[in-house]
Amino acid sequence: MMMPKDIHGRVADAPSDNFVYRILPRPLWPYAQLARWDRPIGWQLLMWPCFWSVALAADADGALQAGYSLPMLVLHLVLFFAGAVAMRGAGCTYNDLVDHKIDMEVARTRSRPLPSGRVTRLQAKIFLVLQALAGLVVLLQFNTFAIWLGFASLGVVAIYPFAKRFTDWPQFFLGLAFSWGALMGWAGVFGNLGWAAIFLYLAAILWTIGYDTIYAHQDKEDDALVGVRSTARLFAHNTKIWLILLYGLAMLCFLLAFLAAGAGFLAYIGLLIAGVMFAWQILILDIDNPDQCLVLFKFNSRVGLVVFAGLIASLLV
């Protein structure tokens, strides 16, 4: 089967003006595309649960007694940012290796580095290892409990690329993996897990299922042709009803997490604004408009920012 070649070295579903194409030499472009450095929305969505968890833990009863300070908060945020970029890139590279043949059949993904032949499987595997090692260096900066918790996430990460083959709920497995930072931030502060972290993890899972269902509506026709399963195909025209349920339960879990941690008043203001942003997404969503689905999917990074800003404002005040 002939694969379309992009003379500009870009992929069909990546923005053409991203800064990585201006700062990286052309031979490195395929690796940037494997890691999705040209699409920062992925590491942003992976990063926000980490940031929420750190900020919530810093604002929780007992953080000061545990010796947690503002410089430590800043250090942890920097580490989680670096870890999110490294591990999101590693995860995407792994996912592309697993989905190599499927990506060749889907119009939106056919021009990616592996199916287009611009990177070999061996090169992709070496790049995967290098990114994983970078993530390991970041992980080793935390306490022992957080390190082992980080290793535990690898089981979920390994399963996710195969989930679309055996369940209509691959977004649930994505949620398990992408939301792990909601546990990690708390563990990095206290060296254990509490109810606040667990409720925050559940909230992040529900949020992830919601936004990735919106994202998956872009590919539902191609997915049906190649037999890939998703909540977008499962929910179909009932997607808005499901989003009301998912985002509504996410809001409840956020609320329980904040209450369990003793978060300040401004954190709830941020959560209220996030709830309005969820409602707006559901109200205007057109599941048959792929361009709008992508815009609304990316909009969820702003939701993550609003929740984090509320927690930081509460902490500082």
User: In 10 A of CB 269, how many CB atoms?
Assistant: 15
Does the residue 8 lie in any domain?
no
Q: What is the pLDDT of residues 33-48, one digit of tens each?
A: 899 888 889 999 999 9
Output the CA angle 39-44-48, nearest 5 degrees: 170
What whole-number distance in Å separates Cα of residue 269 and Cα of residue 130? 41
Does the residue 158 lie in any domain?
yes
pLDDT score at 2? 37
Task: Give the whole-number percent of the chain exceeding pLDDT 90.
Answer: 63
Does the residue 2 lie in any domain?
no
Query: Higher-confidence residue: 237 or 104?
Result: 237
Domain membership of residue 125 as a residue range: 39-316
Does the residue 249 lie in any domain?
yes
Q: What's the domain count of the chain?
A: 1
Residue 194 structure tokens: 């509490």
Does the residue 43 lie in any domain?
yes
Does the residue 221 lie in any domain?
yes
**Average pLDDT, whole number, for the chain?**
89
Look up the CATH number of the domain holding residue 103.
Answer: 1.10.357.140
pLDDT score at 196? 96
Q: What is the mean pLDDT of residues 104-115?
A: 77
Whether the per-residue pLDDT at 62 is higher than 80: the answer is no
Does the residue 34 lie in any domain?
no
The 10 Å CB-count burial string (b at 16+, else e) for 113-127 is bbbbebbeeeebeeb
Does the residue 257 lie in any domain?
yes
